Structure 1
Amino acid sequence: MRVLADITVAAPAREDEDLPPRERNGGAPVPTGAEPVLGALLRAWRERSLLTQEELAERAGLNVRTVRRVEADALSRPRATSLRLLAEALGLEAAELGALTRAASGTAIELTVTLRYVEEPGPGR
């Protein structure tokens, strides 16, 4: 069985969107229901592409440790160059690259992930 992911990304519409995150809502966390999670986003796109972390790192020309750290949200500010290389290796569209960049900067995004389970025919089918 294979898992395929359909990922839809949209920026949340807010009146105070021009303000830095800390200044929105009087400095309190903005309850959007969509929190920036760079690692989960990158992992979902990697899995959609049916790649391992090692394969993605090789395609992007990065160390596998970098991919692991981004997916684990262990990097507070990943390099823009690394994000661009990952996006190119994954074949991300412009909107997806924008979402990746927003997530890396700590901006909340709306994300919908739909997993589809595809049963592969076994031997003799």
Structure 2
Amino acid sequence: MRVLANITVAAPATEDEAPPRGAPVPTGAEPALGALLRAWRERALVTQEELAARAGLNVRTVRRLEAGALSRPRATSLRLLAQALGLEGTELAALTQAASGTAIELTVTLRYVEEPGE
């Protein structure tokens, strides 16, 4: 079984900006850095061990980041993970914001696709 993830990240609305009628109201909740990393890792179809190897990091670092056990991740570690996951543009900005504690709007949809013969 493969996991495909669609991840949409957008900047939060400013306080004086009202959402359009019928649009979901942003909660302003801060997504955990770990949830973002896990979603991007699953989208890339790699294990924590494989991601650590690609990034040149210890697997314990990846595990601790995904578990939210590191409150202040090193900028170097984040850069290496971003490169290993192929993050660019909005996703790279979201990673930086989540690591700094800045609130962002986030939608993650995981789809499980059954492989033929499974």
Which secondary structure does the structure 1 equivalent of 2:9 belong to?
strand
Partner of 2:23: none
Q: Is the 8 Å Cα contact of residues 36 and 107 (structure 1) preserved in structure 2?
A: no
Q: Tell me the C-alpha RMSD between the 2 structures.
A: 1.7
Partner of 1:28: none
Which secondary structure does the structure 1 equivalent of 2:3 belong to?
strand
List per-residue Cα deviations over 1:42-98 (Å, max 9, x = no partner): 000000000100000000000111101100111111001100000000001221010
What are the ranges of 5 or more consecutive residues in structure 2 without an aligned counterpart?
Answer: 17-25
Runs of 4+ in 1 over 6 A off after TM superposition: none
Which secondary structure does the structure 1 equivalent of 2:13 belong to?
coil
What are the ranges of 5 or more consecutive residues in structure 1 without an aligned counterpart?
Answer: 17-30
Aligned-residue offset at 1:33: 4.4
Partner of 1:112: 107
The reply to whether residue 72 of structure 1 matches residue 67 of structure 2 is yes
Q: Is the 8 Å Cα contact of residues 53 and 68 (structure 1) preserved in structure 2?
A: yes
Identity percentage over the alignment?
87
Which secondary structure does the structure 1 equivalent of 2:117 belong to?
coil
Q: 1 CA distance for matches of 2:44 and 2:110?
A: 13
TM-score (ref. length: structure 2): 0.86
Q: 1 CA distance for matches of 2:40 and 2:60?
A: 18
Q: 2 CA distance for matches of 1:62 and 1:121?
A: 34
Q: Count the aligned residue pairs.
A: 109
Structure-to-structure mapping, 1:53-92, within 5 angstroms: 53-92=48-87
The reply to whether residue 48 of structure 1 matches residue 43 of structure 2 is yes
Q: Is the 8 Å Cα contact of residues 9 and 90 (structure 2) preserved in structure 1?
A: yes
Which secondary structure does the structure 2 equivalent of 1:70 belong to?
helix
Q: 2 CA distance for matches of 1:57 and 1:41?
A: 16
Aligned-residue offset at 1:34: 2.8
Q: Is the 8 Å Cα contact of residues 11 and 110 (structure 1) preserved in structure 2?
A: yes
Q: Is the 8 Å Cα contact of residues 10 and 105 (structure 2) preserved in structure 1?
A: yes
